[in-house]
Amino acid sequence: MSELPFHPLANLFPLIEGDLFDQMVEDIRVNGQRDDIVTHNEMILDGRNRFRACRAAKVEPRCRVFGSSEFDGKDPEAFVISANLKRRHLNASQCAMIAADLGRMRQGARTDLSPSGEKSQGERAKMVGVGKRSVERADAIAERGVPALATAVRAGHLSVSVAARLAEVPATLQSRVLGEGGAEGLPKRVQAALMKHRRDARLEQVATKIVALPDRRYAVIYCDIPRRFDAWSPETGLGRSPDNHYPTMTFDELAALPVADFAASNCILFFWSTSASLVDDIELMAEWGFVSLRPRERDGRLSRDADGGLLPPAGLGSYRSHQIWAKDRVGTGYWYRNKHELLLVGVRGNVPAPLVGAQEESLINAPVGPHSQKPLCFREMIDKQYPDLPKIELFCRGAPGVGWASYGNEAILPPPIAEPTEAITSCPKESNAGDALEIADGFGDG
């Protein structure tokens, strides 16, 4: 028998390849062809794999015509779908793509169906035994996805729900993700790419809104406040006071800072704190609009409504997390000898967190530098997480970073320090703690 073309309806289903096809060839070679190949309009309607296997086994294919009496009253489309769904182990996503392909067949490809007879999504979903929502997603993949995306779903490598989300991103991103590796790990690669694309889009929206404001606003604020610390013993403590290194500010002065004048409506605040000043610092963040606190009565107890229920937190922002700087030297302290500082994170509006898998560790070991100066790796971390957002550093101890604005720099900069700066240029993964009592990193628990 001469070669026969495959009917478009038959091509809705993927061909059998690899070991399964080799097994079919061997079975036909040993046992002969069991089921007839069905043709329609001189094309193979059902049995493409049998036809190919017969050719490979050098066995003459046996065919019958769909128009014979045994097929009277049967629809070629329903026949093909019924025969293949019963015969094959297809998942719901693969079936949904078959329904999508049915909907995309036009007059000429479907000689048995007129344009007026094209089936709706609900009808096609019922034919292949899946939900209408799955067919809607499959249609979106066929319409907006690159060809390789539909191929991945048909092959069972990707679910129709995940693939439909990938179909919404630019074609260049689709092609890059699908071409980065084989079928193994494809769902995870797609999920990671979608998360990054969504986060980048949100950051772009944040930046666009900021640029549109009449005055300069910032989406990232990095803050190390010059807090005033009252020593318990003036005779022994004032020599270690921060006032000896730079001008400090009272809590009331810090609370009155015009942070709202340069903070965008969508903004993230990185705020350096210490174990001794933690409560005050959280209240400062709330005053600036980056933490929401439950209201309290004058006696300090939580406020309640008329029914005795606690009132909800009030404020514009929310506390999110903190990072710990583990120092290589032991400092001073009243309750414990201080060896760490905290980098608090508060958000107002909608600023996305780092991507899953791209977060930094919560504990960073880094050596102590000049008085109150923080390791530069923390600012570099912020640059890496939010490279395109406008950033400002409050009370920076030195020159601001590239692309950073600064506030209060001239008022608080100490005289130039001749000490080497290598200690603050990066954060090593590990650091051995020293045992000596050091005061260079600040007084009290700071």
Is it the case that residue 98 has pLDDT exceeding 80?
yes
Is it the case that residue 50 has pLDDT exceeding 80?
yes
pLDDT band at 232 (very low <50, low <70, confident <90, very high): very low
pLDDT band at 297 (very low <50, low <70, confident <90, very high): very high
Higher-scoring residue by pLDDT: 392, 200: 392
Round the average pLDDT of the chain to a whole number and report it.
79
Higher-scoring residue by pLDDT: 310, 64: 310
The domain boundary, picked from 146, 177, 200, lies at 200
Structure tokens at 38: 């069905």
Share of the chain above pLDDT 90, in %: 37
What pLDDT is attached to residue 292? 95
What pLDDT is attached to residue 420? 34
What pLDDT is attached to residue 233? 45
In a domain, 439, yes or no: no
The backbone region for 392, taken as left when phi is positive above 0, alpha when psi lies in -120 to 50, beta otherwise, is: beta
Higher-scoring residue by pLDDT: 299, 258: 299
Q: Say which residue the tokens 């009253």 belong to.
A: 73
How many residues belong to the chain?
Answer: 446
Whether residues 37 and 154 fall in one domain? yes
Whether residues 267 and 359 fall in one domain? yes
Whether residues 195 and 226 fall in one domain? no
Higher-scoring residue by pLDDT: 389, 243: 389
- pLDDT, one tens digit per residue, over 252-291 is 888 988 888 889 999 999 999 999 999 999 999 999 999 9
Is it the case that residue 412 has pLDDT exceeding 70?
no
pLDDT band at 207 (very low <50, low <70, confident <90, very high): low
Whether residues 156 and 28 fall in one domain? yes
Structure tokens at 257: 């800072």
What pLDDT is attached to residue 208? 65
Q: Is-contact 141 163, C-beta < 8 A? A: yes
Whether residues 278 and 368 fall in one domain? yes
Give the whole-angstrom CA distance, residue 407 versus residue 101.
60
Structure tokens at 236: 């022994």
Is it the case that residue 159 has pLDDT exceeding 90?
yes
Whether residues 191 and 263 fall in one domain? no
What pLDDT is attached to residue 87? 64
Whether residues 156 and 267 fall in one domain? no
Whether residues 61 and 187 fall in one domain? yes
Residue from 329, 299, 301 nearest 442 by CA: 329
Number of domains in the chain: 2
Which has the minimum average pLDDT: 109-118, 153-162, 190-199, 435-444? 435-444
Residue from 180, 357, 178, 389 nearest 266 by CA: 389
Is it the case that residue 416 has pLDDT exceeding 70?
no
What pLDDT is attached to residue 443? 27
In a domain, 305, yes or no: no
Is it the case that residue 343 has pLDDT exceeding 90?
yes
The domain boundary, picked from 200, 231, 264, lies at 200
Whether residues 398 and 292 fall in one domain? yes
Q: Is-contact 437 330, C-beta < 8 A? A: yes
The torsion angles phi and psi of 382, rounded to 5 degrees, stand at -65, -40
CATH of the domain at 284: 3.40.50
pLDDT band at 218 (very low <50, low <70, confident <90, very high): very high
Is it the case that residue 408 has pLDDT exceeding 90?
no
Higher-scoring residue by pLDDT: 209, 88: 88
Is it the case that residue 422 has pLDDT exceeding 70?
no
Q: What is the CA radius of gyration of the chain?
A: 34
Residue from 384, 382, 367 nearest 424 by CA: 367
In a domain, 437, yes or no: no
What pLDDT is attached to residue 158? 93
- Dihedral (C-alpha) 311, 316, 322, 328: value to the nearest 10 degrees? -120
- CB within 8 A of 403, min separation 6: which ones? 383, 391
Q: Using a cut of 0.85, tell me whether the model's pTM lies above it.
A: no
What pLDDT is attached to residue 331? 86
pLDDT band at 133 (very low <50, low <70, confident <90, very high): very high
Whether residues 253 and 380 fall in one domain? yes
**411: domain range?**
215-296+310-424
- pLDDT, one tens digit per residue, over 79-91 is 877 777 766 678 8
Residue 261: CB atoms within 10 Å = 10
Can you tell me the mean pLDDT for 354-367? 89
Whether residues 281 and 324 fall in one domain? yes
Is it the case that residue 245 has pLDDT exceeding 50?
no
What pLDDT is attached to residue 209? 57
Is it the case that residue 352 has pLDDT exceeding 80?
yes
In a domain, 206, yes or no: no
What pLDDT is attached to residue 355? 83
Give the whole-angstrom CA distance, residue 281 versus residue 273.
6
pLDDT band at 199 (very low <50, low <70, confident <90, very high): confident
In a domain, 304, yes or no: no
Whether residues 119 and 223 fall in one domain? no
Higher-scoring residue by pLDDT: 421, 264: 264
Sign of the dihedral through C-alpha 259, 263, 266, 271: negative
Please provide the DSSP assignment of 120-183 as one string.
PHHHHHHHHT--HHHHHHHHHHHHHS-HHHHHHHHTTSS-HHHHHHHTTS-HHHHHHHHHSS-S
